[in-house]
Structure 1
Amino acid sequence: MTFELGPALLFCPADRPERFDKAAERADAVIIDLEDAVSPANREEARAALVQHPLDPERTIVRVNPVGSAECARDLVALAATDYRFVMAAKAESAAQMTELAAYEVIALCETAAGVQGAALLAAAPNVVALMWGAEDLIASLGGTSSRDVAGRYREVARHARNTVLIAAGAAGVAAIDSVYLDIPDTDGLGLEAADAVASGFRATACIHPSQVSVIRAAYEPTADAVAHAHALLAAAATERGVFQFGGRMIDEPVLRHAQAVLTRWAASRDSS
Structure 2
Amino acid sequence: MRPIPLTWLYVPGDRPDVVAKALVAGADAVVVDLEDAVAPARKEYARAATAELLAAPRPGPGPALHVRVNALGTPLSDADLRAIAPLPGLAGLRLPKVTSPDDVIRAAEQAAPHDGGAPALHALLETALGIERAHAIATAHPALRGLSIGEADLRADLGVRDDAGLDWARSRVIVAARAASLPAPHQSVYPDTRDTAGLAASCAHGRALGFLGRAAIHPRQLPVIERAYLPTPEEIEQAESVLKAAASQEGAQALPDGRFIDRAVVAEARRTLALAEGGR
Same fold (TM over 0.5): yes
Aligned residue among 176, 190, 210 for 1:181: 190
Residues 201 and 226 (structure 1), Cα distance of their counterparts in 2 relative to 1, 3 Å cut: same
Unaligned 5+ runs, structure 2: 109-117
Residues 39 and 5 (structure 1), Cα distance of their counterparts in 2 relative to 1, 3 Å cut: farther
Residues 85 and 225 (structure 1), Cα distance of their counterparts in 2 relative to 1, 3 Å cut: closer
Instruction: Verify the 8 A CA contact 1:244 1:251 in the aligned structure 2.
Output: yes
Q: Deviations over 1:195-220 (max 9, x none)?
A: 33334432331111110011111122
Alignment of 1:56-67 (within 5 A): 59-67=64-72
Question: Which residue pairs with 1:255 in the alignment?
Answer: 265
Alignment of 1:94-105 (within 5 A): 94-102=100-108, 103-105=118-120
Task: Give, in whole Å, the separation in 2 of the partners of 1:109 and 1:208.
Answer: 16
Q: Deviations over 1:21-40 (max 9, x none)?
A: 21111111101001111111
Which of 250-259 and 112-121 deviates more? Answer: 250-259
Question: Which residue pairs with 2:114 in the alignment?
Answer: none
SS at structure 1 position matched to 2:270: helix
SS at structure 1 position matched to 2:249: coil
Question: Which residue pairs with 2:124 in the alignment?
Answer: 109
Q: Is 1:82 aligned with 2:87? A: yes
Residues 87 and 73 (structure 1), Cα distance of their counterparts in 2 relative to 1, 3 Å cut: same
TM-score (norm 1): 0.87
Instruction: Verify the 8 A CA contact 1:61 1:87 in the aligned structure 2.
Output: yes
Question: Which residue pairs with 1:159 in the alignment?
Answer: 167
Question: Which residue pairs with 2:16 in the alignment?
Answer: 17
SS at structure 2 position matched to 1:76: helix
Alignment of 1:218-229 (within 5 A): 218-229=227-238
Unaligned 5+ runs, structure 1: none
Question: Which residue pairs with 1:236 in the alignment?
Answer: 245
Q: Which amino acid aligns with 2:84?
A: L
Task: Give, in whole Å, the separation in 1 of the partners of 2:270 and 2:85.
Answer: 40
Q: Deviations over 1:118-141 (max 9, x none)?
A: 110111121110101111101222
Which of 230-239 and 250-259 deviates more? Answer: 250-259
Task: Give, in whole Å, the separation in 2 of the partners of 1:15 and 1:52.
Answer: 12
Q: Which amino acid aligns with 1:36?
A: D
Instruction: Verify the 8 A CA contact 2:99 2:125 in the aligned structure 1.
Output: yes
SS at structure 2 position matched to 1:173: coil
Task: Give, in whole Å, the separation in 2 of the partners of 1:123 and 1:204.
Answer: 19
Offset at residue 41 of structure 1 (A): 1.8
SS at structure 2 position matched to 1:25: coil
Instruction: Verify the 8 A CA contact 1:14 1:47 in the aligned structure 2.
Output: yes
Residues 186 and 58 (structure 1), Cα distance of their counterparts in 2 relative to 1, 3 Å cut: closer
Residues 129 and 199 (structure 1), Cα distance of their counterparts in 2 relative to 1, 3 Å cut: same
Question: Which residue pairs with 2:47 in the alignment?
Answer: 47
Question: Which residue pairs with 1:69 in the alignment?
Answer: 74
Task: Give, in whole Å, the separation in 2 of the partners of 1:161 and 1:240.
Answer: 40
Question: Which residue pairs with 1:138 in the alignment?
Answer: 154
Q: Which amino acid aligns with 2:148?
A: M
Q: Which amino acid aligns with 1:72?
A: S
Task: Give, in whole Å, the separation in 1 of the partners of 2:164 and 2:241.
Answer: 39
- Provide the aligned C-alpha RMSD in A: 2.1
Residues 4 and 106 (structure 1), Cα distance of their counterparts in 2 relative to 1, 3 Å cut: farther
SS at structure 2 position matched to 1:35: coil
Q: Which amino acid aligns with 1:7?
A: L
Task: Give, in whole Å, the separation in 2 of the partners of 1:266 and 1:5.
Answer: 10
Corresponding residue pairs, total: 260
SS at structure 2 position matched to 1:60: strand
Instruction: Verify the 8 A CA contact 1:194 1:219 in the aligned structure 2.
Output: yes
Q: Is 1:93 aligned with 2:99? A: yes
